Structure 1
């Protein structure tokens, strides 16, 4: 075994970070103990005792006593299908009997038994983050699958050896593949437990195990290696060790397990499966967070940028940082990553890429917003061209939602500088942002203002995209750029509403946004629309008598061509769309009446 100076879960976390998907998990009965599950052997022995009760036979205490009694009484080894046949003559009765061992009744559910435990949820976190893909379990329960589904994943589940042949390749199992090596309780004919059944595997199973043990590192938990000779043989015949092996057990390893660990030059971890996997998942999360720009570093960069801007003249360091960060994001591997991801894996991959973009763009977003708020036309040049550069993406094959996501850094940048410029009431800059940078639409293949194509939903493809972007920007801008949370909320809503007008004016689809609305049923209006009425009210009054006097800094700067009637038309159409959204949401939720202000998608 390998001696390590640092904690095993820390070393494993570094390994998972270095090679995402490079480790496979092997769970034995001990991994389900904390969930209140009997081991496979324990279930079989309990079934045998029920048969003995039917025959008024007395079985002495002891782990092997039921098995020995059955062999002596019937002259053969017990098997799940025959045991169940002896106890119930109907398929439904047999199924109900077996389910009682693996599915919680009402009392057990209240006590948290036969449900995913810490180890299963920690594993689900590692699968969701892309660090684990292959899971082998010797258990008949579905706790692993349940935990993965709780995490929003749709794993591939293999219960029969024949299903191994046609499954998606292991490296492509981005939402996890769970292989029940010894079957599962929903298919009693697949359940292997007796010494004879576990003596050897079929060709499909051996081929699969050869690949996993050769190509992957191993995380083993809850397995003693004492009763599974075929699995021990599969490990013994693997001569290669591409990545490390970690074997967690709170007790001293069995001689069989210790020999295997020595052969693989692995690490013994004296801990339960719950403890080891949870610590590992926490360590991976900590490492992932550490890759993000440290908040203190951002605060330092902002403070330095403020000094540069106050100093007058060319802020060389700020200029170079903004240009460097823009170039780095423009050349980021995610901008050219494949968008041809299998449909069942899209949700997890979308979340992974979105989170990565958010982390990678933080420094640019914060510094550009600061420059937009405190700067002038000379400093706007530091970052302005970056909006169009990041919004420019070549067409690709694959899923639309992942193709659109390549514009995520442009959306983050546009909204950060737009909110900041709005808060500073730099209306000429706001107008330039909304109408100047151009981008190509993948749908109608025409060029449009980039702002019309860089909505939260258009970039991130999630119903909660607008709310997520709002909450992403708020801590980056509040205090550093805008005075407080209230100022941020007002600036966010006003800029986003103006962007919706541009989106409507270019005939792009208008999606639901994180905006507050007020009014009565039949006439809900965004608070930002009321604000725009106040801003443009004098212009509209003057336009009645002198159209040439209908001026506002936004219009003078060319917002929607500087055409007041065009702005008014777009405003009416957007407000009507928002009213319809609220009516639809209220109808679905069974609400009769709401008064504002409230957020469009507020469930209350």
Structure 2
């Protein structure tokens, strides 16, 4: 598979988990001069101001004349008197005049605009640049993205956590609008401030990297930051049309990076196009979901906070919540009878498709996660189970809450499989929705698949839908999945019945005979309660108030009601 396609799949599977690093090569096509060219011109202007015409190599002349290497601060101080004059002078290098604007010079390149497309789609959220220009910011604003900009080490102090920033641009060597921040001499580029080093350590440790237009040859501090990062949570891609310098090749080897022989314009354009093409597909590519789950597992296995996983969960939950068929319907005017049934099936299939990645991520996080990571997605169950207070076809209105039910079952089944009983109790009791028909808030658990989906076989259908999540991604056997599913379903039904909400059709194996029917997991709970009593982990976690007698009574009440209902169904059959 071509590198740009592989990268596009990764970006779509794990949005926001890659950072971009742009060097001078990304801006060269714009006509903006390189840093050394600007400094050379400033030295020549200074020599001319002193009446010196033939200076030979400008940098050698400056060192002979002043006894040290040329710095931007020194040159600007010699050539200007005020901050306004310094900025006005530098603007002539970075901002187009009227003629340059007509020629299309000194504007964002194809690479900048492709990166901006990726940022606008939420696929890239951090852009590091060694350039003084603001072409990245200009391209982002053209795409409707307002970035947070760091151009001086002082800007890092008080910076919000990376995973909470929608789009961050970091000028590692300063930018022309803050002349005192500009770094260019070997001494200046040899070390970064502690704040900058810490920021880079966080980024290189937690994010993948896409490098273009950077030779690595003249930036020892940046090379050192990359070298000292030993983790490989996500891949590194390095695009350059020419063979890499020794310094770059060493970093390539250290990071096990993929070298792509292409310039920045070509590579970023290909990646953005491939990412757009993937977004047009109706259903998640299986490889994409597998990548997301694998990334989630790596993040959960790490010693540090799994920030990229937090971002994936938040974005995916928000994306599903904003689906047009959930927010705007329509909920009436679709006909009646068979037309409504057909539209209901079409929407249900779409919701099943659109929730694939979210359910896989939630099941993975519920199985392997902690109380900290639980808070990242638990509130989404209530949000996605909420139905609107609108008029229309009831079946289509209730279907809006189906993603919340799907998510509740993915999380609840995973929690049972992992024996995370406190999480299970939180799923059954803490996630609440407002019932517009009854005008009150209720636990999401009192509404099962049949309530939202409106089909008699909704529970069985959801069981089939979640099967690959648990057998392919969590690698449970089908037997282990069936056990976890039934135990969660049983506990949810007890919760529903004890709340006075009756029961609904559920996909559970049945045991016993006429008049004495039981669901298969009944013996599991009964035997566990006999064995552990008040020390049962469900009670310690607070299920039904942590009261053993209450749980036994609720269990018996449901079991009796189930037996009566099942016996009547068999008698009627």
Q: Quickly name the TM-score band, shorter chain normalised.
A: 0.5 to 0.7
Q: Which residue matches 1:334?
A: none
Q: Which residue matches 1:342?
A: none
3-state DSSP class of the match of 2:44?
Answer: helix
> Residues 32 and 385 (structure 1 numbering): CA distance in 2 closer, same or farther, change over 3 Å?
closer
CA distance in structure 2 between the partners assigned to 1:274 and 1:19 by the alignment: 23
8 Å contact 2:150–2:169 — kept in the other structure? yes
> Residues 353 and 379 (structure 1 numbering): CA distance in 2 closer, same or farther, change over 3 Å?
closer
Q: How far apart are 1:56 and its partner, in Å?
A: 3.6
1:353 equivalent in alignment to 2:319: yes
Q: How far apart are 1:293 and its partner, in Å?
A: 8.9
3-state DSSP class of the match of 1:268?
Answer: strand
CA distance in structure 2 between the partners assigned to 1:151 and 1:8 by the alignment: 25
Q: Which residue matches 1:153?
A: 145
Q: How far apart are 1:28 and its partner, in Å?
A: 0.8
Q: Which residue matches 1:52?
A: 47
1:106 equivalent in alignment to 2:98: yes
Aligned residues: 354
Of 219, 223, 226, 2:214 maps to 223
Q: Which residue matches 1:25?
A: 20
Q: How far apart are 1:12 and its partner, in Å?
A: 0.9
Q: How far apart are 1:416 and its partner, in Å?
A: 13
Q: Which residue matches 1:340?
A: none
> Residues 59 and 384 (structure 1 numbering): CA distance in 2 closer, same or farther, change over 3 Å?
closer
> Residues 217 and 409 (structure 1 numbering): CA distance in 2 closer, same or farther, change over 3 Å?
farther
Q: Bigger CA drift: 226-235 or 374-383?
A: 374-383
Question: Residues 577-600 of structure 1: CA distance to partner in whole angstroms, max 9, x if unpaired?
Answer: xxxxxxxxxxxxxxxxxxxxxxxx
Question: Residues 35-72 of structure 1: CA distance to partner in whole angstroms, max 9, x if unpaired?
Answer: 111111221111111112223434577xxx32222111
8 Å contact 2:111–2:265 — kept in the other structure? yes
Q: Which residue matches 2:259?
A: 268
CA distance in structure 1 between the partners assigned to 2:18 and 2:251 by the alignment: 17
Question: Residues 325-380 of structure 1: CA distance to partner in whole angstroms, max 9, x if unpaired?
Answer: xxxxxxxxxxxxxxxxxxxx9xx97997389614x879x979x999x447469959
Q: How far apart are 1:14 and its partner, in Å?
A: 1.3
> Residues 406 and 281 (structure 1 numbering): CA distance in 2 closer, same or farther, change over 3 Å?
farther
Please report the TM-score for the alignment, with normalisation by the length of structure 2. 0.54
8 Å contact 2:127–2:170 — kept in the other structure? yes
CA distance in structure 1 between the partners assigned to 2:390 and 2:12 by the alignment: 28
CA distance in structure 2 between the partners assigned to 1:293 and 1:209 by the alignment: 33
Question: Residues 464-497 of structure 1: CA distance to partner in whole angstroms, max 9, x if unpaired?
Answer: xxxxxxxxxxxxxxxxxxxxxxxxxxxxxxxxxx
CA distance in structure 2 between the partners assigned to 1:125 and 1:71 by the alignment: 44
CA distance in structure 2 between the partners assigned to 1:249 and 1:412 by the alignment: 58
8 Å contact 1:24–1:218 — kept in the other structure? yes
Consecutive unaligned residues of structure 2, counting only runs of 5 or more, are 286-310, 352-374, 377-381, 398-433, 442-573
Q: Superposed, which structure 2 residues align to 1:24-423 within 5 Å?
A: 24-58=19-53, 65-173=57-165, 175-292=166-283, 353=319, 357-358=323-324, 372-373=334-335, 375=337, 379=341
1:11 equivalent in alignment to 2:6: yes
Q: Which residue matches 2:554?
A: none
8 Å contact 2:321–2:383 — kept in the other structure? no
Consecutive unaligned residues of structure 1, counting only runs of 5 or more, are 1-5, 295-344, 390-395, 398-402, 419-438, 448-604
Q: How far apart are 1:177 and its partner, in Å?
A: 0.5
Cα RMSD (Å): 4.5
8 Å contact 1:59–1:66 — kept in the other structure? no
Q: How far apart are 1:89 and its partner, in Å?
A: 2.1
8 Å contact 1:129–1:352 — kept in the other structure? no
> Residues 378 and 292 (structure 1 numbering): CA distance in 2 closer, same or farther, change over 3 Å?
closer
CA distance in structure 1 between the partners assigned to 2:118 and 2:340 by the alignment: 47
Please report the TM-score for the alignment, with normalisation by the length of structure 1. 0.51
Q: Which residue matches 1:316?
A: none
